[in-house]
Amino acid sequence: MPLYPGNMEVFTLLEVIAVLWVTYSVITWWLERGRLSQLTDKTVLITGCDTGYGNLLARRLDQLGLRVFAGCLTEAGVAELRQSCSERLQPIQIRQRTRCVQGGEGSSKDDGEAPSYLMTPEYPVIAVDAMEHALCATHPRSRYVIGWLARFIAVPISWLPTDLGDLAIRLVAPLPTPACCKGQQ
């Protein structure tokens, strides 16, 4: 293909866009590396610390030196955290409130786990890394996209008008039945 003056302008424009994108990426990476100083002065409350993400995040923040109030539903969860973490982590037993609407919608209890089709062995670690970054970074991101499903399906769906996005999600993934409503008809 012969190079015409119009083609050179396109190539120059693409080069400028590539340089700007790389510059933006490097600056963003550099800013996101910053951590808050004096993490020992910070306090955080986490619920659902018996198992799952809450437990992993409570342990990680305790290791970083933050004071953590870890809400657990069971006495066993409280005892396990007391035994395995420092005195900065203060486990507290909380009472569970569950509301269930017939048909499986409207549960205020969440089991804290991602659907099985999202779970990979590294998924919980990646999610906890994102939560830690959001709490401890000097320049946290405005949005954390975790996993391929979020990056290639959920984010583009979020660009749609709300009604169309909800319809697309309902067509692809049926609503799960909350744990508190399983067995009810």
Mean pLDDT confidence for 108-135: 68
Distance separating alpha carbons of residues 41 and 50, to the nearest angstrom: 25
Tallying the residues shown for the chain, one arrives at 185
Which DSSP helix (H) or strand (E) runs through 103? none
Range with lowest mean pLDDT among 76-85, 94-103, 154-163:
94-103
Residue with tokens 């420092």: 86
Model confidence band, residue 105 (pLDDT cutoffs 50, 70, 90): very low
CA-based end-to-end distance of the chain = 68
Q: Is the pLDDT of residue 80 over 80?
A: yes
Higher pLDDT, 132 or 108: 132
Strands 89-93 and 43-46: unpaired
Q: Is the pLDDT of residue 124 over 90?
A: no
Q: Is the pLDDT of residue 101 over 70?
A: no
Q: What is the pLDDT of residues 7-41, one digit of tens each?
A: 677 778 899 999 999 999 999 888 888 888 888 88
Distance separating alpha carbons of residues 86 and 43, to the nearest angstrom: 14
3-state secondary structure of 161: coil
- pLDDT for residue 84: 92
Strands 67-72 and 43-46: parallel
Question: How many of the other CB atoms lie within 10 Å of CB of 169?
Answer: 15
Higher pLDDT, 95 or 120: 95
Q: Is the pLDDT of residue 61 over 90?
A: yes
Mean pLDDT confidence for 81-85: 93
- pLDDT for residue 5: 58
